[in-house]
Structure 1
């Protein structure tokens, strides 16, 4: 099947679905489009409860996106220890953390100018 160009909204919806399928926690969508010199348009940030859970979230995102729009991340980082895995879909970058690592790096705080949307129905722990 042919890979097709998905809109950012469609890609985001698929990524969120992949996270929710395996009960990813505290999902935030950061809109970076109004900020100058950013590397992408959106960050999606969530966390898992363990390295196994983080890997399950990452795997679910990849399967969901690949199955629907035949797209793969351009780059993946951090899957070795699964404390912070980054999936780069070019204009959407996904950060999947373990909770303590997310709190330490505070991506939402670093990108304080971004418009943050908390995803309803995400499992907050």
Structure 2
């Protein structure tokens, strides 16, 4: 079984919203073969609680606007270090950088197929762009 088109679209939209709020290391996995409760996981991180809140708010707003979807469950928003948004067929995790390194969700789900979240490539800083690769 593979993730549905809708769950993949939902994760990609969430990834774009997170990226616009400067979330870091955004990845997604098709976990439909491993889990019966959801199709896709998206994981993103941010360096502080304020930015995590901004990322979560942006994701929620984007998914309401584009899909008329609200999370079925939201966990951790009060603490602000690991927020989980459960949309049923997709689960969005936004973690503090330190918590992400500690829990290593990519290691847990790394055997699952990656979902291309289709984010634009980050441009190189001006200094690096002019420096030839060695």
Say yes or no: TM over 0.5. yes
For the pair shown, which has the larger CA radius of gyration, 1 or 2? 2
| Residue 106 (structure 2) aligns with | 108
Question: Structure 1-normalised TM-score?
Answer: 0.84
Question: What is the CA RMSD across the aligned residues, in angstroms?
Answer: 1.9
Query: Within the alignment, does 1:8 sit opposite 2:7 as a pair?
Result: yes
CA distance in 1, matches of 2:43, 2:111: 16
CA distance in 1, matches of 2:20, 2:26: 13
CA distance in 1, matches of 2:23, 2:116: 13
* Structure 2 unaligned blocks of 5 or more: 123-134
Q: Could you tell me whether the CA contact under 8 Å between 1:31 and 1:116 is conserved in 2?
A: yes
Higher strand share: 1
Q: Could you tell me whether the CA contact under 8 Å between 2:73 and 2:85 is conserved in 1?
A: yes
Q: Could you tell me whether the CA contact under 8 Å between 1:24 and 1:122 is conserved in 2?
A: no
| Structure 1 residue 29 displacement after superposition | 0.6
Q: Greater relative contact order (Cα 8 A, min sep 6): structure 1 or 2?
A: 1
| Structure 1 residue 16 displacement after superposition | 1.3
Aligned length: 117
Q: Could you tell me whether the CA contact under 8 Å between 1:23 and 1:122 is conserved in 2?
A: no
